[in-house]
Amino acid sequence: MDSEEDRYRAPALDKGLDILELLAEIDGGLTQAEIAKRLGRSPNEFYRMLDRLVRRGYVTRIDGDRFSLTLKLFGLAQLHAPVRRLVSYATPFMRELAEETRQANQLAVFDRGSVVVVAQQEAPGYWGISIRVGSHISLYDTGSGHVLLAFRSQEERLMMINEYSSSTEHPTMAREFFDRLDQIRERGYEMMPSAQTAGVYNLSAPVLGPDGRAIAALTVPYITLVNVPQAPDITETLEMLAKTSQQLSELAGAEVKKRA
């Protein structure tokens, strides 16, 4: 009689999970032959499975014949409960930031090849720049995208760019672009004219996990307010943004440590 485990075997699923678990342990990827050798099987057994994993975005080809994990599994893991917790924790801080700065603000994450707005706080007055929750924004020419890239390793940056570019056109990534990301990381924030709306400056700061990687970007689309008493200027707004992002980072780190 078959054991309970054998009765419900799914060989194809097991094969795919074996590949994912193996690649998760390897830096630099493996060839199809190396995967087969490590798993004790014939290379031909893995051709179709690897093709499907690449097409579904879980695995990518590097250096022509090597296979490596993408960030898709990471994105799936971050999508539901962790993001909901982050939004729940962030909401009162974002509301306070909007009241103090008189500006709108939004929280964005990198999810499965996209930069997605997961929370948005309206400006308390008549004027402000709002972005709908669920909107997909650019990785290359927004403050949020720059911050999400800046606070990652170079290898992770390239993986994020590869995932993003699979669904949209992108410019050639010049050395100057990566230099800019390094500068953002060094100073701790991004400040740039909006590439989408004239007269708006994107002020963006990271929400960091305990490992120092950006798990989200908090952004104020700053507009100069005329005839608004005691409205903070752009420098004061940037300081308030940095303080709020630091508070959220501390909360994110404390939550991870508590659950560990």
Domains present along the chain, CATH in parentheses: 4-69 (1.10.10.10), 75-259 (3.30.450.40)
pLDDT, the chain, mean? 84
- pLDDT of 126: 74
**Percentage of the chain exceeding pLDDT 90:** 35
| Stretch 90-116: mean pLDDT | 91
Q: What are the C-alpha distances in Å from 76 to residues 8, 119, 122, 142?
A: 25, 18, 28, 23
Q: Count Cβ atoms within 10 A of the Cβ of residue 12 and give its class: 0-12 exposed, 13-18 middle, 19 or more buried.
A: exposed
Which band of pLDDT confidence, cut at 50, 70 and 90, is reported for residue 64? confident
Beta-carbon count within 10 A of 135 CB: 15
- pLDDT of 102: 92
Which band of pLDDT confidence, cut at 50, 70 and 90, is reported for residue 109? very high
In this predicted structure, which of 27-36, 72-81, 125-134 has the lowest mean pLDDT? 72-81
| Stretch 172-177: mean pLDDT | 77
Residues in the chain: 260
Which band of pLDDT confidence, cut at 50, 70 and 90, is reported for residue 259? very low
